[in-house]
Amino acid sequence: MTTTAEPVAPEPPTAAAPPIAEPSRRTPAVVRLLVLATFVVILNETIMINAIPRLMTDLDITEQAAQWLSTAFMLTMAAVIPVTGWFLQRVTTRRAYAIAMSVFLCGTALATVAPVFEVLLVARVVQASGTAVMMPLLMTTLMTVVPAEDRGRVMGNVTMAISVAPAMGPAVSGLILQLGSWRLLFAAVLPIAGLITWRGLGQLENVGEPRSSAIDWFSVAAAAFGFGSLVYGLSRFGDGGTTTPAAIVLIGVVTIAIFVARQLRLQRRGTPLLDLRILRRPTYSLSLLLMSLGFMGMLGAMILLPIYLQNLRGLSPLETGLLVMPGGLAMGLIGPSVGKLFDRFGARTLIIPGSVGIVLALAGLTQISLAMPYWQILGLHALLMISLATTFTPVFTLGMGALPADLYSHGSSMLGTLQQVASAVGTALVVTVMAGRAESRVADGVSTAVAQLDGMRLAFVITAALSAAMVGIAFLLPKRPAPAPDPAPASESQGPDAVSLEKELEPAC
């Protein structure tokens, strides 16, 4: 069954795969380089969380303004990633890598010397623009150069970059901030990213041939505005009041619906910005849904635990980072082993127990109290991180393996975009539920600490209930990806395929 998952496409990327993937049991050098670079750039998505108090003092800004340094990063990622499918088909691997890392380095250097908050905010947007390209580039390259029977093992390493990096961000920043200024967060990353860029450009090989294609700028604007508005509106929940955030979310949803309708129309000419045929693959769609629920649970826990540990238990940012670090490290260390198990036993053997572990960990966190032992918190967090690693690796491999080679870049772009949206949904959900419950309890006359604790418990109950849906989805997924059919020429795919897709998705528009 494993050999059937290798796509056979009449395009240069498949022809170039064998020499790069040799020997078959070793991770190709191009993938190792991209994993390392992706880890460094994605780490910056959450590295500012612990620096907010320091920034408020040094730059004389409010907490809401400081939060924008993380929100703007996430917004930019959501706006840029939909364009990467077209971008990666148009340029070579080396050029895409050079552009992404150069943009990231420029943003990091600017952030290091930023004299005022506004400059630092621009630097974060520039950083995110480079970061947005790296994950789709990594996923597309991996699916092209790694044989199907070896993808699980290699995808285990990728899990570390795209899942562990954001989980490790607060812990790493907590350690660095003990040494001095918030500028060290960027000054420490700059030489590492520079060295990785230099080594990568010296060793990276092009995978496949670029293809010239037109771009619809209306789609670019609609994707950027739609996904950006959706993420921004979700991030505004919990700041007080729900009318404005709900209106922004509604505008984002309407714009995304226009974007989808536009892609269906462009599908008939073979020039969509984001090829929605990927959603016609049930395995890919289910994997996308399960992954989104997993990221919602992970980000929800990442937001709630630091608030609980620092506000209610009195721990410092460094102590908080050290407490959650074992879970992040376990997630990274277990990734390669999970990948090997996937290659040997298939996806269901891992995804089902992994989903159950996520539910159990979040259910355990619903019992947090002012006296819960720290070892118990550490254990529940480690269980959550290990279960997420056990789930994410096979889900990524299964979903991408269900696509034909010509849709890899579009599949990875959709996956990256939904990751940002799911993260924003998870964050907005837990903050809104926690704040609403706390206000209600304070009105009943209980103390602020007890009210906030009750709000956190209810937020964990909601995330645990949502994660329970992951178990049901896990049973619907196959053991291994079904063979992807040969991609039809653009002229042929514009007819029945596009029409049937339009009929399937039309209600969403």
Distance CA 338, CA 327 (A): 16
* Per-residue pLDDT at 63: 66
Note the pLDDT tens digit of each residue in 108-119: 999 999 988 899
Average pLDDT over residues 17-41: 65
Query: What is the per-residue pLDDT across 336-363, written as a single tens digit (0 to 9) for each?
Result: 788 778 878 888 888 999 999 999 999 9
Give the pLDDT of residue 106.
95
Q: Which residue has the tokens 């000054």?
A: 187
3-state secondary structure of 316: coil
- 147-159: average pLDDT: 71
| Residue 430 in this model has a pLDDT that exceeds 80 | yes
In the prediction, which pLDDT does 358 show?
Answer: 93
Task: Give just the sign of the alpha carbon dihedral 102, 393, 275, 2.
Answer: positive
* pTM > 0.75: no
Q: What is the pLDDT of residue 502?
A: 44
Lowest mean pLDDT among 52-66, 118-132, 446-460: 52-66
Give the C-alpha distances (Å, rounded to integers) separating 293 from 94, 151, 167, 298.
33, 23, 16, 9
Please report, as a single letter, which amino acid is at residue 177: L
Tens-digit pLDDT profile for residues 358-400 = 999 999 999 998 889 999 999 999 999 899 888 888 888 888 8
pLDDT tens digits for 397-414? 888 888 887 777 778 778
CB 481 within 8 A of CB 401: yes
Q: Locate 342 and state its tokens.
A: 């996937």
| Structure confidence at residue 484 (pLDDT) | 54
CA distance 264 to 279: 12
Whole-number Å distance between alpha carbons of 291 and 10: 30
All structural domains of the chain: 29-483 (1.20.1250.20)
Quick check: 491 pLDDT over 80? no
Of 457, 335, 434, 447, the residue nearest 388 (C-alpha)? 335
Among 331, 246, 271, CA closest to 493: 271
